[in-house]
Structure 1
Amino acid sequence: MELTVYLAGQIHDDWRNELKEKARQKDLPLHFVGPQENHERSDNIGEDILGEQPNSIHRDDAASSINNFRTEVLLQKSDAVIALFGEKYKQWNTAMDASAAIQLNKPLILIRPESLVHPLKELSNQANVTVESMDQALEVLAYIYE
């Protein structure tokens, strides 16, 4: 049984590839999906599809609607969600994706460092499982196959 796991979180570092490699090393039957990781493509998708927009506000709005559509489709098709909150980047997209997963009744594993326990306490309380590392998140998924 292969599970589809949506990887929610910032797109500015290599955490997804690191998690995928760890899952591969554990021989876990997981298929991963997530947000558009090409930042330029994500920012330009509105104009790429709808044409040039009159200003940056409309440009961002057009891109946002298409990115939100993509996220919702992939979240709905996922069996579980891993939402990673890190120390370095703003976490707006991660919070939105985690909230959407909760609304869609998707099982949610929240990864957050100890330093973010307080600011994420409400979201953590709504997640199915909260952990502090990618390894712990993968162990939760591995437990499904025991």
Structure 2
Amino acid sequence: MELTVYLAGEIHSNWREELKEKAKSLKLPLHFVGPMENHDRSDFIGEEILGEQPNAIFRDEAASRINNFRTQILMQKSDIVIALFGEKYKQWNTAMDASAAITLGKPLIIIRPENLHHPLKELSNKATVTVETVNQALKVLAYIFDEK
């Protein structure tokens, strides 16, 4: 059995690659999907598809609609959602994706450092599992396949 995992969270660090490499080394039967990681492409996909927009607000709106479409399709097809909240960047998209996973009834693993416990307490309470590290999230995933 292969599971599809949607990786929500900031796109500025390599946490997805770290998680994918570790899952591969553990031979976990997982397929990963997620948001567009090319920041410029994500920001300008509306104009790429629909043509030049009259200003930055319209450009953002066009890109947001297409990015939300992508997220909705990939998340609905996923078996599990992992949402990483990092320390450095604003996490609005991550919170939105985690909330969408909850609404869709998707099993949700939140990864967040201890110092974000308080601001994320309600969201963590609704998640299936909350951990502090990528390694802990991988251990949760590995446990799914553990037969011992």
Superposed structure 1 runs of 4+ greater than 4 Å apart:
none
Residue 81 of structure 2: aligned partner: 81
| 1:46-61 equivalent positions in 2, closer than 5 A | 46-61=46-61
- C-alpha displacement at 1:36, in angstroms? 0.1
* Distance in structure 2 (CA, Å) of the matches to 1:145 and 1:55: 50
* Distance in structure 2 (CA, Å) of the matches to 1:112 and 1:102: 17
Residue 120 of structure 1: aligned partner: 120
* Distance in structure 1 (CA, Å) of the matches to 2:44 and 2:32: 24
> What value does the CA root-mean-square deviation take over the aligned residues?
0.5
* Distance in structure 2 (CA, Å) of the matches to 1:141 and 1:24: 12
* Distance in structure 1 (CA, Å) of the matches to 2:66 and 2:121: 30
* Distance in structure 1 (CA, Å) of the matches to 2:86 and 2:42: 21
Secondary structure of 2:90's counterpart equals: coil
Count of paired positions: 146
Residue 70 of structure 1: aligned partner: 70
Residue 98 of structure 2: aligned partner: 98
* Distance in structure 2 (CA, Å) of the matches to 1:26 and 1:86: 24
* Distance in structure 1 (CA, Å) of the matches to 2:126 and 2:71: 20
Does residue 31 in structure 1 map to residue 31 in structure 2?
A: yes
Residue 44 of structure 1: aligned partner: 44
* Distance in structure 2 (CA, Å) of the matches to 1:98 and 1:115: 18
Q: Which amino acid aligns with 1:141?
A: L
TM-score where L is the length of structure 1: 0.99
TM-score where L is the length of structure 2: 0.98
Does residue 135 in structure 1 map to residue 135 in structure 2?
A: yes
Secondary structure of 1:70's counterpart equals: helix
- C-alpha displacement at 1:13, in angstroms? 0.9
- For structure 2, the residue ranges without an aligned partner over 5 or more in a row are none
- For structure 1, the residue ranges without an aligned partner over 5 or more in a row are none
* Distance in structure 1 (CA, Å) of the matches to 2:124 and 2:35: 21
